[in-house]
Structure 1
Amino acid sequence: MKKKVLLGTLAICIAATMVGCGEKVVKQKDKDYKVSEYVTLGEYKGIKAEKPEVVEVTDEEIQNNIDYDLMDNRSQEKITDRAVQEGDTVNINCSAIVDGKEYEEGSFEEYDLEIGAGDFFEGFESGLVGAKIGDEVELNLKFPDDYDTFEGEIQSGDEEGSESVAGKPVQFKVKINSISVYTTPELTDEFVKKNTEYKTVDEYKKGLRKSLEEQNKKVAEDSAQESVFEKVMENAKVDGYPEELYNEYYDMVKSSYEEMAEQYGMDMGVSEEDIKEEVIMQVQECLVLQMIAEKEKIDLYESEYDKGLKELFEENSENDESLKKPADLEESYGKEEIAEELLFRKVKEFLVSKAEIKIVTIDEFNNSGSEVIETEDEAAEEEMIEEEENAPDEIDENDIQKVE
């Protein structure tokens, strides 16, 4: 009797495509094509690749993250009964006139500027001291002689066909919309309890260090993974692609650019040709990953899916307020879409496990032609930089990064 029960259970497990009786395979997207008709794999096992060393976390990085949290929790006091003073944050509208014409890069609205921070070139911030809410201040200044490469950033005039404004007179017309004073809290156990998952300052600092160490480790692993996969792609031959797969990726890539452009209020910044080139690259990578998964019989199991969904949620929820729980991510993208992403990650992990990896310094890794994968914080910082493109070019970027 006992033997029959075990055999019956085994039959059920096999019928449900289960491994270890409880590990059900997650269904992937249906394909109306044979991957082998498009892909000829080259060498993909035993790939020789490099992995950048894990960067050591410094006390300065920890302090930068603390400063970020403190700044993020500043209190704001609106000022209505006095003029602008040093240290105030003013919200302004600004237009700039150069050679009798409006200079678009120097014109913006609803911008918060801290007086005395030195974000604008000399004379701009000090020229607003003493102004009151509603005042329109006229500032007759001159662009720095090195403005085209001011603070190491490429400024207007460096692009082909554009005229440099370096050293030229400029007239700014600035309207004061509001005046505020921000107060930064002190780092105390009380602050930590209220604003973090920790209870004491010491626990908070240790937690930051651990998070940064894990982040740096992931950067090294992801960089090695992409280095291996890049060589796998170089060794593979992809001859054409299914039209439906191309259309799927085209819609996804183009909508991504359109959403970003709408979010930041600017043009997409890429041509139709650029989009098609990116789509073809992603389609080819998809086909190669599908081919390896088929050949090596790599499947994604429910437990792996559940774990991966949580990780994807943690990666995306920080920058998407609509995501409150992992199920929201699944509802937004669909289970099959997420399952494919997680399967591809598993295939890449398989490739790394079969590769010959050499640990090198970051400089050696970059000099080899590979690039260290940016962290999510760095990616977020790039988005912030793009978001501020409507502000004057001379604004410095904030180097402080925040741990997820």
Structure 2
Amino acid sequence: MSLVSDVKTDVNMREVTFSISAEDLEKACERVYQRQKKDIAVKGFRKGKVPRKMVEKLYGEDVFFEDAVNMIIPGELDAIIREKEIIIIDRPSVELVSCTKEDGAVCKAVLITKPEVTVGEYKGIHAPMKVREVTDDDVNQQIEMLRQRQARVVDVDDRAAQLGDEVKINFEGFIDDEAFEGGKGEDYPLRLGSGQFIPGFEDQIVGKNIGEKFDVSVTFPEEYGDDRYAGKAAVFKTELLGITMQELPEVDDELAKDISEFDTIDELREDIKKNLTQTAEQQAQTRFENAIFDAVVDATDAVIPQVLFDRRIDQRIREFEGQLQQQYGDLKLNEYLQLTGMTLEQLRDEYEPQAKKEVTLRLALEKIADLEDIQVSDDELEEALQEFAASMQAPIEFVKARIPVEDYRTDMRVTKVVELIKNNAVVDNDMAEAETAEAPAEEAAAEEAPAAE
């Protein structure tokens, strides 16, 4: 192999031209022939016994060139990339420029390289960390949720239906006195006030008693999903079959004993407040860290190839597919898209902004690791891999054979950078107060601004 040229053709693009000697080409052609000869059949010869010269005479001396060059290219190109210390981020595009028996071959490879990144200030970043105060209302909401879980469903037969009740109804819908498709239900359960039906439907059941038959008059919304019915008036012939309600337990010590390890409701309240406070502190810490790394991204300058964003989007979609199967059994991505009326391109578009932020942040963190000369020793790497293998309940050799170990080392370097940035960040709650003050002012300005003609 001989490097002919190495030219930077554009941002993150290099064009490498290299040659393959006639001797190396001949050796590769012979290896290709030896692999393929068992399948070569020519009249007058037994299958697998056709001499190479006969094959080349019949099909041309270049018959084995393409496979021979393809056999050589990966090793030759890899050697050039290592020698020139080029970091590529996608599969090279290789073109065969020329190939003859006498002169060998000349190939041209287009390489997409890792972006050159310039980072801004990453030490001493200011960000707010306001912890939301937990109020009595927050605690009461949690207790109400616990009450709801302990609710008993009881039949109601001594009063009319009320909002919050669950009723059972028969109904059939008519438009212009004609029954329409999908407008009929029997023994249908409906919680009044849930908004499950067309606006106005549930309100007209309130005040009715079991056994009553009545008409419910409504109008389908203009934006209704089925164009056949959108904006049209309909009448539903309805019968109220039954009413049930939830009976909630009292908020007292007995409730605390039933649903927790505590003996009194005051102890339960105190524990709920403590847990809510811990959650609020964790959320504040998360917002603080997000603000820090958003600042790192905003201060990063790089021209990033789309292939890196596409790769991250692909990863996100694979993760989403896994979540679908975990939560909904055998639900496939294409089935989810059909159910939601979304296309794959629309889903990719939804993921793209976050993918761009994540890729930019990763490149910035790797650049900072270089600037700070942050390294991971072989001993640190080995210890981390041992812990990872133990968590997987797998032998360390198995783990090393199946993960890119140097990529794992890079992940560890990035983790060190994350801690460096967090440890040097400055809590500045004046920023939060300034943002809070700016928001009403911006809203007021927007309200006062004249409308464009």
TM-score band w.r.t. shorter chain: 0.5 to 0.7
* Partner AA of 1:358 in structure 2: D
Specify which structure has the bigger relative contact order, considering alpha-carbon pairs within 8 angstroms and separated by 6 or more residues: 1
Are 1:37 and 2:114 an aligned pair? yes
Counterpart mapping for 1:127-206 below 5 A: 127=205, 129-130=207-208, 132=210, 138-141=215-218, 171-172=235-236, 179-206=243-270
CA–CA distance in structure 1, aligned partners of residues 279 and 136 of structure 2: 15
Mapped partners of 1:340, 1:96: distance in 2: 64
| TM-score (ref. length: structure 1) | 0.52
Q: Give the letter aligned to residue 289 of structure 2.
A: Q
Gaps of 5+ in 1: 1-31, 144-154, 308-325, 328-333, 370-404
**Percentage of matched positions with identical amino acids:** 16
Instruction: State the partner residue of 2:274.
Output: 210
Residue 203 (structure 2) pairs with residue 125 (structure 1): yes
Over the residues paired in the alignment, what is the CA RMSD in angstroms? 5.7
Q: 1:61 aligns with which of 138, 161, 177?
A: 138
In 2, the alpha carbon distance for the partners of 1:93 and 1:265 equals 27
What residue number does 2:154 align with?
A: 77
Q: Aligned match of 1:240 in 304, 316, 332? A: 304
Larger gyration radius, structure 1 or structure 2: 2
Give the conservation status (yes or no) of the 8 Å contact 1:249–1:282. Answer: no
Deviations 1:113-152 (A, max 9, x none): 14699x996673343543658x885311469xxxxxxxxx
Q: How far apart are the structure 2 equivalents of 1:173 and 1:338?
A: 66
Q: Is the 8 A contact 1:250 1:276 kept in 2?
A: no
Aligned partner letter, 1:125: D
Does residue 88 in structure 1 map to residue 165 in structure 2? yes
Q: Distance in 2 between matches of 1:340 and 1:207?
A: 42
Which structure 2 residue ranges, 5 or more long, are not aligned? 1-85, 90-112, 328-332, 393-401, 440-453
- Choose the corresponding residue for 2:428, options 354, 358, 383: 358
- Measured at CA, do residues 284 and 42 of structure 1 come closer, stay the same or move farther in structure 2, by a change above 3 Å? closer
Q: Is the 8 A contact 1:89 1:181 kept in 2?
A: yes
Measure, in 2, the Cα distance between the counterparts of 1:47 and 1:233: 15
Residues 166 and 189 in structure 2, CA contact (< 8 A), matched pair in contact too:
no
Distance, in Å, in 2 between the alignment partners of 1:246 and 1:70 is 47
Q: Say if 1:94 and 1:38 are closer, same or farther in 2 by CA, change over 3 A.
A: farther
Matches within 5 A, 1:359-398: 359-360=429-430, 362=432, 364-365=434-435
CA distance in 2, matches of 1:362, 1:91: 50
> Which residue among 349, 355, 358 is the counterpart of 1:273?
349
Contact 1:46 1:354 (8 Å CA) reproduced: yes
Distance in structure 2 (CA, Å) of the matches to 1:204 and 1:63: 11
CA distance in 2, matches of 1:280, 1:116: 39
Task: Give the whole-Å Cα distance in 1 for the aligned partners of 2:189 and 2:436.
Answer: 37
Q: Return 170-179 or 246-255, whichever deviates more.
A: 170-179
Counterpart in 2 of 1:253?
A: 317
Q: 1:98 to 1:231 in 2, by over 3 A?
A: farther
Residue type at the aligned position of 1:217 = E
- The alignment of Structure 1 onto Structure 2 pairs a total of residues equal to 297
* Letter of the 1:359 counterpart: N
SS in 1 for 2:123: coil
